[in-house]
Structure 1
Amino acid sequence: MRLKEYTALFRELARRHVAIQHSPTECRFLRVTLSTDPIARRLDLEELYNSLRTKLKAGYFLVLQTYETDYEDNVSDNLKKEFHGAIMVMGKVKTGDFDQLEEVLDRTEEIGEELMGTVLHTFRTDFTPPVKFMTAKDITAEKIGPVGDNHYGTRFNFSFQETANAALKHKPDKYLN
């Protein structure tokens, strides 16, 4: 899975989910980039913060964090690529309204579970190579906020694997003599 496919999967879920309904005119899907380099660790929130200020529409929205990748080799012909990604489902809370805060946190958890359930289903039923593998144990959730103008929500961290035999295959034709 490359970044475009990863983004397209979650953008489509944001478009189709009844509580989010992202569209070109109703912005409710955003991306953030996280570099996990220990020296140059950087979180790029430009799209998120610009959208929070200018184009994000009222209601719940989905924030997709880019993934990081590990490779595994059990010293055989079974190479694997493990992805670690995250989504954040968020909604705005009126400052000081703690009942609404609980409501938003509960609802964002529920929406996130629905989204992750669809991802699990998709990976379990789509056998197009490279086949992806994920279990419920590969998902964690935590409450987040406030972000921006009093947005709160639930962050889902997840990992999944796919075969990496083709990705890591030596390709002599990609090199000059």
Structure 2
Amino acid sequence: AVADGDQIMALFANRWAEEGRLKGRTLVATVMSNLGLERYLADRSIHLHRTAVGDRYVVEAMRANGLNLGGEQSGHIVMTDYATTGDGLIAGLQFLAEMVRTGKPASALTRSFEKVPQLLKNVRYGVGATPLDTPGVRAAIAAGEAKLNGSGRLLIRKSGTEPLIRVMAEAEDEALMLSVVNDIVGAVEAVT
């Protein structure tokens, strides 16, 4: 299995919190990090501070709040005790140190929490279009939130790099999640 950044950040945040090294008992991660990570941290009285997507936003939040651990689900991990930007070698060494300390294989260390099923669909839109501002799309998003009714999470955003609307949902009920995402995707496609 492939370990993502959420699992690795959970490992580091928990260890650092136990050792009293996690500043503010807070991990900084983007809005794309899995709801399972948030629940895992909350169970350990560790706060998750969410930012916009991009390690630049993670670093900005870390600096603004005096925090020392953050990253992205994609695997960019920032540990300001060691470097001011994400550094794969440092993250790798920290991970290896944890393997040595615990005597556990990597596969065991990257199963800290059960990920909540997550679905992401991208919808391309035309230049100059503003699909998120249309009544039909706003209504579909509101209906999706109502269907989830607190049992999951919904994130709809414009891509920062290309003309895409990203529709992401997380929920234990995968059929519900698929229905919500497809309804919103359909509404966006109808106006693009």
Q: TM-score, normalised by structure 1?
A: 0.32
Bigger proportion of residues as helix: 2
Bigger proportion of residues as strand: 1
